[in-house]
Structure 1
Amino acid sequence: MPRFFLKTVSILTLATLAACSGSHEHSSSSPDSLQSPHNAALSTAAVTEENLSLAENTERYQDQPDQPVKSVAQEPVSTFSIDVDTGSYANVRRFLTSGQQPPKDAVRIEEIVNYFPYNYPLPTDNRPFAVHTETIDSPWQPEAKLIKIGIQAQDTAKKDLPPANLVFLVDVSSSMDEENKLPLVQKTLRILTQQLRPQDKVTLITYASGEDLVLPPTSGADKETILSAIDKLRAGGATDGESALQMAYEQAQKAFVPNGINRILLATDGDFNVGVSDTETLKSMVAEKRKSGVSLSTLGFGMGNYNEDMMEQIADAGDGNYSYIDNEKEAKKVLQQQLTSTLATVAQDVKIQVEFNPATVKEYRLVGYTNRTLRNEDFNNDKVDAGDIGAGHSVTALYEIIPQGKQGWLEESRYQKAPTAKGSKNEYAFVKVRYKLPGQKDSQLMQQAVPVGSKPLDQADKDTLLALAAASYAQALRGGEYNGKLSWRDIENMAQKVQDDDPFGLKSEFLQLVRTAAGHGGTSGPLVKE
């Protein structure tokens, strides 16, 4: 059971016990009396009032255990799908800015690391992206090194994007009748509408107890009509999301643009309560529909009943992105500043496989990507789905490794001694990346070695330091098991060193979030204990 549910159950139990204690008569003069009925009522009221928002909380998150440490002698190969979602970062921000500690399972390290744009060099050949690596001394484990794998996709100007066929699928059920839900959805869709070109077209579908085609395919040149339809949206009714998804795919197919962008944008809190609401069933449906060439991105809104478990997983199944919109600034980031990377795909089914050299590496662990792990045989299987990368996107992955001869996390085995390693002493690992060009069935391969050697932390480039600060922050929010002796002050210092080149204020906001979590920003104390 996710920890957030446990907290809710505990609060409800506490309130119930307090109420029960107040229901028995006690003599105020009796030394055995714990509290008077009046005090019991006050106690119950205090528990109920203070924790009302938590007691009513039904937010759902997928279990996200930490990646285990692996022995190179036993498992030298690690395979995973890339992830360009960023929803976890904004959702965690929502918790911190409201004075709450985020549930552990809400903190996905890779989404927090990949929230930021990185200045990795663009590809210089005809490849859709370039792969870069850097190795530094780890601040988490004294004997460890950190290998950063950075992917930078080629960029595309908005004017050069292919025509877009977009379906706005908007939840207008009664659960969306809050300021941070439907009104924020409307602001978000207005921002996207202003980016449309005459060759783009938009369909607007709403759903509650039933689904409604509010606006048939309409040219981006007719912004007034689109904006008027968005402004008229009102909330009310139950939530039949599955039927609405079916209708959205049907409408997307009717307006399908060959060699164009064909995408559904689902805006909801994910609280499906009519029809099919099981995440696995919805994933299967969306995975089947993606074969038609229509992708699905999800935009999450609200709190209290938010179903992030479903939102993230169906976006992954639909070859789209998952974003959480907690304010208008985030809406502008996703659908204005990063519009091309949000909508235009340059490579599909991108998989990374790293083979560690047993001659130089003893142990390793992948930082994050818990629900993106693949079987090793999936790497060469072009039928296995993986993440897509958009124009201008950067993707970062971190491995922490223990070199041979150094003390690691694992105990030495009494009987299963590691065999004598044979191989080059000049390489830590060999990185392979598979991808498909959009619309193609056969994958292509990129590969390169990671040389032995590392930079001291104070010589790491700014991109690596930013990724490290973000990963350290995320690990601390998850309990800090792998942060070693790294303190919140150390994380703050790392974040402070990367504050230059911040046109949209993302890094300065990140620094403030670190301070908020650490209790250094004028709060009453740390939300997350060290």
Structure 2
Amino acid sequence: MVVTGSRITRGTPGAYVPPQPDTERYPSATPNPVKRTADEPVSTLSADVDTASYANVRRFIDEGRAPPRDAVRVEEMINYFDYGYARPLSSREPFAVTTAVVAAPWSDGRQIVHVGLQGYELPASERRPLNLTFLVDVSGSMASADKLELAKRSMNLVIDRLRPEDTVAVTYYAEGAGTTLAPTPGSQKLKMRCAVESLIARGGTAGARGMTNAYEQAEANLARNRVNRILMFTDGDFNVGVTDDKRLEDYVAEKRGTGIYLSVYGFGRGTYQDARMQAISQAGNGVAGYVGDLNDARRLFGPQFDKGAFPIADDVKIQVEFNPARVAEWRLIGYETRLLNEEDFANDAVDAGEVGSGASVTALYEITPVGGPTQMGERRYLENRIGRGGGDPSGEIGFVQVRYKQPGQARSELIQQVIANRAAGRVSAQPPESTRWALAVAAFGQKLRGDPWMSADYGWDRIIDQAQGARGDDPYGDRAAFVQMVRAVETLPGRREP
């Protein structure tokens, strides 16, 4: 007999027993509304390179359950994939901007504006030494193979990649907090592995004390010529000590000013606290990832680890202004928890996302061209503003701007680019492969979440067809696995919300 919380389930000792799903918590996010361009032509958002939602959604589907709506963050689903964007040539201007305008596959008469940012990939000679601190949750809730044991394997994958000039410290927290390894050079990998292996899960969860201890270790080896980063491994279940998100978020944001960033990696099921981990990682200028199995660990902590470890830009903000002479309405797909005010774009005091070496960011907008099937009724007394959009009304749909700071700098720099297509006639009948794939993933995320803007007759079969036609070169099988995940959704029972 296996005891899990207040439930008793028959089975063999050590066997996995599915926990109660309603203990998991996700950020509440209402799908973005449609905006009338004449009233609100500008969209501003913080760049997001997190992929936690994709891996977590796949975990639910693999277990035969529909994920909670708020667990589905469409932008993280889209940004899970590489789109092969054109690459920037220098770290001095670390982003290349790619745009496309195509027909919306799920809504006749509407179009999709695809905006892609590709980050500069630092050569080995430009990668600063790493000052890493592992912050490991060893509370009783982590005592399962898909939590602490998987976290240990993840840490060992990071250790595999360390150079002699890199350092790692290993800290932990349960009822209290401690350090099993002070900052140690990357040449002493056996010592690091022994420190990781010594971690055992038991007791409560003093997450706040563990965090302050981790920062103390990171500060002991702090240097401006290093990348100073804490990697937190947890299920997010802080049940002892300070657990108020705002207080932890404020503390992490304050420490961000010292040059130490915090990334959070979630593990396990049942007690997974996604909302808390999202808040903390965003305050820490880090990434948030979910590790459901060893494949996820290899993806996050193998070669792609560099995309989170070595920053190329801080406080990356994207702003798109639509031309009301060409665009009647628009809506941003996803990014509900990453929206900024228009005035935040040029305010260097406002925090935004960090982007690492070689990472890309994708944003999709659904627009209704002027004269198309608008979703908001005409206003009786609205002044006719058509033609006042600025730019060339025969070709300019919008204008994209990107603000970013070079790592460690206080003042931002600016990249600007026009979004254009011809004024008359159909948009491209065969969009770029990258756009077609992004549309398939966006359709899947929106339909899975039950967004009201999706056409009711746009079924799973059409999403599969869209994806199958855009798989292209798929060396690691990520796109093939996505198609299989969509097929699996067709057989799932109805959603049970927490």
Hey, what does 1:516 align to over in structure 2?
488
- Residue 86 of structure 1 aligns with an amino acid whose one-letter code is T
Q: 1:364 — aligned with what?
A: 330
Structure 1 counterpart of 2:479, which letter?
A: K
Residue 131 to residue 174, structure 1, CA distance change in 2 (3 Å): same
1:477 aligns with 2:448: yes
Residue in 1 aligned with 2:13?
none
Relative to structure 2, which stretch is displaced further, 420-429 or 257-266?
Answer: 420-429
Matched, 1:98 2:63: yes
Name the SS of the counterpart of 2:228 in structure 1: strand
* Identity across matched positions, percent: 43
Aligned to 1:57: 22
SS in 2 for 1:150: strand
What is the 5 A alignment of 1:240-389? 240-389=206-355
Q: Does 1:124 align with 2:89?
A: yes
The equivalent residue for 2:104 is 138
Write out aligned runs for 1:33-48 (5 A). Answer: none
Structure 1 residues 54, 64: CA separation in 2 closer, same or farther (over 3 Å shift)?
A: farther
Distance 1:420 1:191, change over 3 A: closer
After TM superposition, give the deviation of residue 228 of structure 1 in Å: 1.2
Report the AA paired with residue 59 of structure 1. E
> Contact 2:31–2:451 (CA<8 Å) still a contact in 1?
no
After superposing the two structures, state which structure 1 stretch, 237-246 or 456-465, moved more.
Answer: 456-465
Paired with 1:445 and 1:159, the residues of 2 have a C-alpha distance of 26
Aligned to 1:189: 155
Partner Cα separation in structure 2 for residue 173 and residue 439 of structure 1: 35
1:502 aligns with 2:474: yes
- Structure 2 residue matching 1:354: 3-state secondary structure: strand
Corresponding residue number in structure 2 for 1:178: 144
Give the letter aligned to residue 115 of structure 1. Answer: Y
Q: 1:194 to 1:150 in 2, by over 3 A?
A: same
Q: Residue 372 of structure 1 aligns to a residue in which SS?
A: coil
For 1:323-472, what aligned pairs fall within 5 Å after superposition?
Answer: 323-422=289-388, 423=390, 424-425=392-393, 426-453=395-422, 456=427, 458-472=429-443
For each residue in 1:124-151, what CA deviation from the matched residue of structure 2 results, as whole angstroms up to 9, or x when unmatched?
Answer: 3541111110110111221111000000
Instruction: Tell me, yes or no, if the aligned pair for 1:351 and 1:434 is still in contact at 8 Å.
Output: yes
Q: Give the corresponding residue for 1:156.
A: 122
| Alpha carbons of structure 1 residues 515 and 157: separation in structure 2 relative to 1, 3 Å | farther
CA distance in 2 between partners of 1:81 and 1:56 (Å): 30
Distance 1:441 1:455 in 2: 44
Letter in 2 for 1:429: G
Deviates more, 1:124-133 or 1:459-468: 124-133
Q: Any stretches of 5+ residues in structure 1 without a counterpart?
A: 1-11, 16-44, 46-51, 520-524
Whole-Å Cα distance in 2 between the matches of residues 223 and 290 of structure 1? 28
Alignment match, 1:488: 460
| Secondary structure of the structure 2 residue equivalent to 1:338 | helix
Taking structure 1 as reference, are residues 165 and 55 closer, same or farther at Cα in structure 2, changes over 3 Å only? Answer: closer
CA contact (8 A) 1:168 1:264 kept: yes
Paired amino acid for 1:298: V
Q: Is the 8 A contact 2:133 2:170 kept in 1?
A: yes
Asked whether the equivalents of residues 397 and 420 of structure 2 are also in contact (C-alpha less than 8 Å), the reply is yes
Q: Is the 8 A contact 2:400 2:418 kept in 1?
A: yes
What amino acid does structure 2 have at the position aligned with 1:435?
Answer: Y
Secondary structure of 1:226's aligned partner: helix
Find out whether 1:78 has 2:43 as its counterpart.
yes
Between 1:450-459 and 1:494-503, the stretch displaced more is 450-459
Say whether residues 1:228 and 2:194 are aligned partners.
yes
Q: Work out whether residues 20 and 270 of structure 2, in 8 Å CA contact, stay in contact via their aligned partners in 1.
A: no
Partner of 1:89: 54
Relative to structure 1, is the Cα distance of residues 158 and 175 closer, same or farther in structure 2, using a 3 angstrom cutoff? farther
* Matched AA of 1:207: Y
SS at match of 1:431: strand
C-alpha separation in 2, matches of 1:404 and 1:276: 52
1:331-355 deviations in whole A, cap 9, x for unaligned? 1111112021110110111111111
Q: 1:250 and 1:455, CA in 2 relative to 1: closer, same or farther beyond 3 A?
A: farther
1:138–1:457: 8 Å Cα contact kept in structure 2?
no
Of stretches 422-431 and 178-187 in structure 1, the one that deviates more from structure 2 is 422-431
User: SS of 1:370's equivalent?
Assistant: coil
| Secondary structure at 1:258 match in 2 | coil
Deviates more, 1:447-456 or 1:200-209: 447-456
Q: Secondary structure at the residue paired with 2:146?
A: coil
Q: Is the 8 A contact 1:297 1:315 kept in 2?
A: yes
Alpha-carbon distance between aligned partners in 2 of 1:291 and 1:504, rounded to the nearest angstrom? 38
Q: Amino acid of the residue matched to residue 152 of structure 1? A: Q
Cα pair 2:433 2:472 within 8 Å, conserved: no
Q: What secondary structure sits across from 2:203 in the alignment?
A: coil
Deviations 1:251-271 (A, max 9, x none): 101111322111000000000
Shift of residue 80 of structure 1?
Answer: 0.8
Q: Could you give the per-residue CA deviations for residues 68-101 of structure 1, whole angstroms, max 9, x where no partner exists?
A: 1000111111111110110000010110000000
Find the aligned partners of 1:480 and 1:509 in 2 and give their Cα distance.
23
- Residue 209 of structure 1 contacts residue 237 of structure 1 at CA under 8 Å; is this kept in 2? yes
Greater shift in the superposed pair: 355-364 or 125-134: 125-134
**Structure exhibiting the larger radius of gyration computed from Cα positions:** 1
Partner deviation per Cα, 1:15-62 (whole Å, 9 max, x = no partner): 9xxxxxxxxxxxxxxxxxxxxxxxxxxxxx9xxxxxx95646311111
Report the CA distance between 1:526 and its aligned residue: 6.3
Could you tell me the TM-score, scaled by structure 1's length?
Answer: 0.87
Letter in 2 for 1:445: L
- For 1:488 and 1:480, the matched residues in 2 are separated by 14
Indicate the RMSD between aligned Cα atoms, in angstroms: 2.0
* Offset at residue 505 of structure 1 (A): 1.8
Q: Is the 8 A contact 1:128 1:153 kept in 2?
A: yes
CA contact (8 A) 1:161 1:340 kept: no
